[in-house]
């Protein structure tokens, strides 16, 4: 099949070898070829072809199609896994890799609106691993992995409560006579609401509920609750369960509601690795209660990878389309140019590529940090080493800011494609729907910022006391003013750090001021909310920029990068830092009043220079992300650039166009015209 001539010219003129970049991006030649082999296994299978565009299906049809495809997908995937590794060892890392496969290229290609068993393989199984005893894991984990009568979900969020998990109303009362827990959702607002797969797919749920024993409250605990019959799938007695209806995106997930009315479960179905209820009702607290929320931290760490994937999907579509699409002349005596030749279009697209690549560098570091913290917590010989608060704060503010900027970035990329970007066949609706959903799930944006800000204020107070500080917040004790040097990138990072430090200081001072007026500490925090959220956002920007630069330098020291990749990555990370600085310029100039107009113009000029340097490699870069056409799912972003042909092909296979005259003409339009309104 022919390839668009403009795309061919772009690829021929690039100095970056996209295949070389793809090998690095995938983690090496072996991993790249392994993924491509897996993709071919699925994409060549006619069982996974789309006979009609998913947007033309009803909500019910889409769910049923997704479930049917899921079962075929999992059967084929398990066969592939057994060929590679006959004996799989279940672990958090293995589940992380499986989760990334589901939300990565193969999973995205086959399930553009996500996957109804995704929560089963991530939050449900991860919680069993992290919170279940060895006996409980033996009872549930292997069956869950093989889906042997167990299809799970994780039920935390309620109709009336989301991120404020202490406010959850679902109750679990222990009955020492029968050694059972009695679970209830006592109010309408206490119904579980949103869990993925809960509506019609899952038959077992890990339910977070407030534990009561003999009238005493012992906080939130996790309970394994069977909600549907293993053989008939009928809801069990006392269980009210269903689907919550269509959403803005992710309509393959089957989000559901769950009401529990005097549902009894055995004592051993409370997950008891970190806390126990003995047969007589004695409550025993084991490891730190914060570990109960480890599943959320785990998912927040992974969400950063999810949103960078979606952002780069959108950037690939927009970049290829912007080469194919010709619009307006730059010089009157020359033909219309590719819209990517307009600097205004470059400014919409190239910073999003830079952001996605920089997020990748930071997310790799964040996962290693998560691993390190888990090892610390498992090592009981060094209880004084606990980086969990730092990890929690980082995962909160980075998740909040990354999902906000990624969803904004995807929408900007859609807009950069003009009217065609608004078509469902462009696939920005699916990409945006998943990106913007991540803004809210596993911690609502503002709530997470406030949690991170509380940590930052505490660390700022510690800095005043000259205490040892974690590395991510060590800049809070650096009160030196900005000394503008020759290194623009270093200037930008330091200016962002000063802005963050000053906003944390202002938040602390504002809290103190409100507390001095005799209001409660809680009210003082509420009145300081705007300053606290601003401080957390500023901290996230300062951390993202500094860490991306540090990770790039670490890769260069290891010698993992070819000269060309090192050069282009350096340009991308620098563009990310400068773009962040310019986007935050209001905050930066407020707290760094020594920055002059001349210095700011230097930054803006460098921003435009980087656009010009990256422009010749734009197509090679997005080719290097190695998204198969099925992954992009877009008429605008295919590798061959046949945009207009694909748009017309998709229009012609629209079910509405399968008959020359729609029945609505004879049933409605013709009678109306005869009536001569």
pLDDT tens by residue, 489-498? 999 999 999 9
As a whole number of Å, the end-to-end CA separation of the chain is 52
Q: Is 27 annotated as a binding residue?
A: no
Cα–Cα distance, 611 to 604 (Å, whole number): 11
Whether residue 105 lies inside any domain: the answer is no
| pLDDT tens column, 599-656 | 999 999 999 999 999 999 999 999 999 999 999 999 999 999 999 999 999 999 999 9
pLDDT of residue 574: 98
Whether residue 222 lies inside any domain: the answer is yes
Predicted structure pTM score = 0.91
Tell me how far CA of residue 495 lies from CA of 404, 551, 592, in angstroms. Answer: 22, 20, 7
Cα–Cα distance, 211 to 322 (Å, whole number): 56
Contact 639, 375 (CB under 8 A): no
- For residue 535, what is the domain's CATH number? 1.20.140.10
Determine the structural domain holding residue 151 and report its residue range. 121-286
Whether residue 481 lies inside any domain: the answer is yes
Could you tell me which of 502, 195, 546, 540 has the C-alpha nearest to residue 400?
540
Question: What Rg, from alpha-carbon coordinates, does the chain have?
Answer: 27
Cα–Cα distance, 278 to 213 (Å, whole number): 11
> Based on the structure, what is the number of domains in the chain?
2
pLDDT over threshold 80, residue 385:
no
**Mean pLDDT (whole number) for 385-413:** 94
- 216-226 vs 204-213, strand pairing mode: antiparallel
Residue 306: CA count within 13 A, CB half-sphere: 31
**Mean pLDDT (whole number) for 286-291:** 61
pLDDT of residue 352: 98
Whether residue 581 lies inside any domain: the answer is yes
663 burial (CB, 10 Å; 0-12 / 13-18 / 19+) is: exposed
Cα–Cα distance, 673 to 476 (Å, whole number): 73
Q: If you ran DSSP here, which 8-state letter would residue 236 be given?
A: P
pLDDT band at 292 (very low <50, low <70, confident <90, very high): low
Whether residue 176 lies inside any domain: the answer is yes
pLDDT of residue 657: 92
Among 265, 286, 307, the domain boundary falls at: 286
Could you tell me which of 50, 249, 112 has the C-alpha nearest to residue 632?
112
Whether residue 374 lies inside any domain: the answer is no
Mean pLDDT score of the chain: 92
Q: Is 384 helix (H, G, I), strand (E, B) or coil?
A: coil
pLDDT of residue 376: 83
Q: Is 232 annotated as a binding residue?
A: no
Contact 283, 144 (CB under 8 A): no
Whether residue 256 lies inside any domain: the answer is yes
pLDDT band at 152 (very low <50, low <70, confident <90, very high): very high
Tell me how far CA of residue 137 lies from CA of 142, 313, 504, 589, in angstroms. Answer: 8, 37, 43, 54
> Residue by residue, what is the 3-state secondary structure of 91-159?
CHHHHHHHHHHHHCHHHHHHCCCCCCCHHHHHHHHHHHHHHCCHHHHHHHHHHHHHCCCCCEEEECCEC
**Mean pLDDT (whole number) for 180-190:** 97
Q: Where in the sequence numbering do the catalytic residues fall?
A: 442
- For residue 267, what is the domain's CATH number? 2.40.110.10
pLDDT of residue 157: 93
Among 260, 286, 312, the domain boundary falls at: 286
Among 240, 261, 286, the domain boundary falls at: 286
Among 78-82, 156-160, 169-173, 547-551, the minimum mean pLDDT is found in 78-82
pLDDT band at 176 (very low <50, low <70, confident <90, very high): very high
pLDDT of residue 301: 86
Cα–Cα distance, 105 to 111 (Å, whole number): 10
**Mean pLDDT (whole number) for 159-173:** 90
Whether residue 422 lies inside any domain: the answer is no
Residue 354: CA count within 13 A, CB half-sphere: 27
pLDDT of residue 374: 82
């Amino acid at each position: 099949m022919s390839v668009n001539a403009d795309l061919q010219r772009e690829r021929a003129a690039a100095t970056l070898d996209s295949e070389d970049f793809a090998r690095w991006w995938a983690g090496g030649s072996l991993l790249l070829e392994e993924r491509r082999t897996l993709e071919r296994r699925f994409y060549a299978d006619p069982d996974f072809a789309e006979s009609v565009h998913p947007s033309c299906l009803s909500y019910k049809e889409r769910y049923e199609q997704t479930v049917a495809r899921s079962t075929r997908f999992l059967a084929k995937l398990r066969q592939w896994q057994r060929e590679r590794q006959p004996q799989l060892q279940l672990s958090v890392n293995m589940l992380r890799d499986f989760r990334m496969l589901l939300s990565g290229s193969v999973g995205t290609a086959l399930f553009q609106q996500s996957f109804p068993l995704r929560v089963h393989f991530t939050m449900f199984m991860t919680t069993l691993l992290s919170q279940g005893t060895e006996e409980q894991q033996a009872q549930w984990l292997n069956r869950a992995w093989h889906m042997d009568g167990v299809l799970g979900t994780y039920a935390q969020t309620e109709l009336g409560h989301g991120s404020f998990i202490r406010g959850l109303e679902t109750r679990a009362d222990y009955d020492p006579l029968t050694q059972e827990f009695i679970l209830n959702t006592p109010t309408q607002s206490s119904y579980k609401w949103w869990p993925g797969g809960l509506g019609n797919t899952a038959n077992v749920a890990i339910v977070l509920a407030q534990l009561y024993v003999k009238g005493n409250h012992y906080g939130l605990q996790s309970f394994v609750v069977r909600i549907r019959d293993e053989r008939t799938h009928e809801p069990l007695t006392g269980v009210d369960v269903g689907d919550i209806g269509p959403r803005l995106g992710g309509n393959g997930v089957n989000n559901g509601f769950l009401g529990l009315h005097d549902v009894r479960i055995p004592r051993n179905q409370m997950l008891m690795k970190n806390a126990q209820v003995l047969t007589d009702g004695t409550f025993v607290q084991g490891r730190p209660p914060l570990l109960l929320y480890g599943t959320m931290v785990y998912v927040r760490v992974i969400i950063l990878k999810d949103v960078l994937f979606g952002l780069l999907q959108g950037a690939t579509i927009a970049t290829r389309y912007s080469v194919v699409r010709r619009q307006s002349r730059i010089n009157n005596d020359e033909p219309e140019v590719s819209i990517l030749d307009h600097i205004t279009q470059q400014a919409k697209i190239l910073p999003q590529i830079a952001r996605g690549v920089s997020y990748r560098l930071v997310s790799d570091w964040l996962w290693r940090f998560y691993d390190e913290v888990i090892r610390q917590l498992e090592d009981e010989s060094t209880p004084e080493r606990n980086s969990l608060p730092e990890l929690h704060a980082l995962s909160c503010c980075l998740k909040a800011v990354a999902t906000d900027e990624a969803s904004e970035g995807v929408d900007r990329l859609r807009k950069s494609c003009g009217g065609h970007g608004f078509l469902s066949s462009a696939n920005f609706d699916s990409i945006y729907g998943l990106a913007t959903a991540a803004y809210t799930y596993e911690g609502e944006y503002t709530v997470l910022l406030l949690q991170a800000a509380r940590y930052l204020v505490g660390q700022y107070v510690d800095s005043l006391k000259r205490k040892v500080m974690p590395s991510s917040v060590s800049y809070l004790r650096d009160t030196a003013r900005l000394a503008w040097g020759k290194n623009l990138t270093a200037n930008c990072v330091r200016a962002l750090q000063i802005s963050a430090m000053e906003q944390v200081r202002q938040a602390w001072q504002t809290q103190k001021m409100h507390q001095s007026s005799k209001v409660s500490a809680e009210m003082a925090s509420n009145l300081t909310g705007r300053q606290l959220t601003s401080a957390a956002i500023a901290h996230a920007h300062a951390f993202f920029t500094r860490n991306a630069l540090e990770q790039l330098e670490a890769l260069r020291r290891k010698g993992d990068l070819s000269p060309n990749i090192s050069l282009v990555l350096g340009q991308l990370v620098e563009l990310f830092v400068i773009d962040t600085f310019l986007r935050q310029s209001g905050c930066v100039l407020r707290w760094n009043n020594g920055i002059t107009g001349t210095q700011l113009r230097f930054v803006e000029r460098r921003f435009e220079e980087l656009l010009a340097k990256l422009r010749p490699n734009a197509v090679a870069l997005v080719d290097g992300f190695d998204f198969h056409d099925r992954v992009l799912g877009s008429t605008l972003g295919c590798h061959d650039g046949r945009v207009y042909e694909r748009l017309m092909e998709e229009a012609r296979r629209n079910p509405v166009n399968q008959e020359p005259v729609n029945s609505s003409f004879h049933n409605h339009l013709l009678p109306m015209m005869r009536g001569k309104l």
